[in-house]
């Protein structure tokens, strides 16, 4: 009798947890579906191109601008290798691969979020544009894979 009571008690405890977990998951899934149009995944950014406007002056530059197309005069100057977040989850910059040829002699640098703006290439790919030119990026201090540690 004790075994049966203990089994029934254990079953009721674990069954309640399973129901609660399922309920929580369905709420999160519903929220995600309604927000999906406004979300950008990191996989849609990494590997993307970094362009320059070739306009080094600060006047008129606003990193909050989001461009819907790549400008005619923009030049490809690097590739987005990674996204850098602060500990509280805010994006603070990008790791860019600049210079070199066929991955020989290239350099990884961090470009501040203040110096970049998002460019929607299409519905699933994004790039970034900066007012800095390739020489400006190459002049930045190089970083290694664990610079944030």
Give one DSSP letter per residue of 23-72, joined into a string: HHHHHHHHHHHHHGGG---GGGTTT-EEEE-S----TT--TT-EESS--T
What is this structure's pTM? Answer: 0.63
Q: What is the pLDDT of residue 149?
A: 47
Cα angle 100, 106, 111 (rounded to 5 degrees) comes to: 120
Residues 6+ apart with CB under 8 A from 21: none
For residue 64, pLDDT over 70 is answered with no
pLDDT top residue among 51 and 66:
51
Q: What is the pLDDT of residue 40?
A: 72
DSSP string, 78-93: EEEEEEEE-TTS-EEE
* pLDDT tens-digit readout, 76-129: 888 888 888 899 989 888 888 887 666 666 788 888 888 888 888 877 788 888
3-state SS assignment for residue 125: coil
| Backbone dihedral region for residue 47 (phi beyond 0: left; psi -120 to 50: alpha; all else: beta) | left
Q: What is the pLDDT of residue 108?
A: 86
3-state percent breakdown (helix, strand, coil) of the chain, nearest 5: 35, 30, 40
* Residue given tokens 């500990």 in the structure block: 87
3-state SS assignment for residue 15: helix
Q: How far is Cα 132 from Cα 58, in angstroms, rounded to an integer? A: 10
């Amino acid at each position: 009798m004790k075994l049966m009571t203990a089994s029934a008690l254990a079953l009721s405890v674990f069954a309640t947890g399973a129901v609660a977990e399922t309920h929580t998951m369905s709420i999160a899934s519903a929220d995600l579906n309604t927000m999906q149009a406004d979300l950008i995944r990191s996989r849609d950014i990494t590997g993307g191109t970094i362009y320059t406007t070739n306009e080094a002056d600060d006047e008129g530059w606003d990193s909050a601008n989001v461009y819907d197309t790549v400008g005619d005069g923009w030049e490809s100057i690097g590739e987005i290798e990674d996204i850098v977040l602060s500990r509280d989850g805010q994006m603070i910059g990008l790791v860019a691969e600049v210079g070199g040829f066929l991955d020989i002699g290239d350099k990884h640098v961090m470009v501040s979020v203040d110096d970049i703006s998002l460019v929607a290439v299409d519905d699933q790919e994004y790039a970034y544009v900066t007012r800095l030119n390739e020489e400006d990026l190459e002049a930045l201090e190089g970083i290694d894979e664990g610079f944030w540690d």
